[in-house]
Amino acid sequence: MAFLRKVLAIVWKDVTAELRTKDIFSAMAVFALLATVIFQYAFDLRAENLRLVLPGVVWTTVTFSGVLGLSRSFILEQDRGLLEGLLLAPMDRSAIYFGKLIGNLLFITAVELLLLPALSILFDVWLLTPPILLFVALGTLGFAAVGTLFSAVSINTRAREVMLPILLFPVMVPVLIAGVRGISGLLDGEPLTDLLQWVRLLLAYDVVFTTTAFLLFDYVVEE
């Protein structure tokens, strides 16, 4: 319980800072909306194509805008010299990981709650159904779990935020495939029970990589 309180303290710190500056959320949200508009022009969508490309549009927009937020997650701490303070705090360092992960999840989810209705209107396909949200939520968890770890890795590199997508995207492929395939199936009218193997794949990914990231996070921030 004491551990949970420490995690929540970090989440509270990040959310409060974000509510005051709105740096991360505004950048992610505007980028996400820009991306949807650009996709609309890029694909020059016609009615019969909508359901074919929309799942891909959802996931590329979520990952591209998500990477923006993830890359800020540790850079802000580093630029203001706060990371040392966090590391000196008397607590298990995995609390920092889970605090950051939950914070990132909240920011990405907030953007998704804006993005999905916007896509629904622009593409005239209703996306806010529970099965679709299940796929989005599971995919976002896997994305944020690996992304939070790599965000802490990338602040140590020369190029910092440029490094994050290069590290993250190749490892992200299973989430993209399962997410796109799941939403495509649902939009094609397949029942969720036919798509359970994709749900299981996402669950497996989430469990494997949240655990791995939790175990390896200590090595990333030590010094």
Contacting positions for other proteins (CB under 8 A): 146, 149-150, 153, 156-159, 163, 166-167, 169-171, 173-174, 177-178, 181, 197-198, 201, 204-205, 208-209, 212-213, 216, 219-220, 222-223
Select 44 or 223, whichever has its Cβ closest to other proteins: 223
Q: Taking the complex as a whole, how short is the minimal distance between the CB of residue 171 and other proteins, in angstroms?
A: 4
What span, in angstroms and rounded, lies between the C-alpha atoms of 148 and 103? 10
Q: Tokens 């500056």, residue? A: 21
What span, in angstroms and rounded, lies between the C-alpha atoms of 75 and 96? 14
Select 36 or 210, whichever has its Cβ closest to other proteins: 210
Q: Taking the complex as a whole, how short is the minimal distance between the CB of residue 159 and other proteins, in angstroms?
A: 6
What span, in angstroms and rounded, lies between the C-alpha atoms of 117 and 123? 10
Residue 192's contacts (CB-CB under 8 Å, 6 or more residues apart) are 131, 134, 186, 199
Q: Taking the complex as a whole, how short is the minimal distance between the CB of residue 215 and other proteins, in angstroms?
A: 9
Interhelix angle 50-79/94-123, rounded to 10 degrees, is: 150
Q: Taking the complex as a whole, how short is the minimal distance between the CB of residue 212 and other proteins, in angstroms?
A: 6
Select 124 or 190, whichever has its Cβ closest to other proteins: 190
Amino acid (one-letter) located at 77: E
Select 29 or 58, whichever has its Cβ closest to other proteins: 58
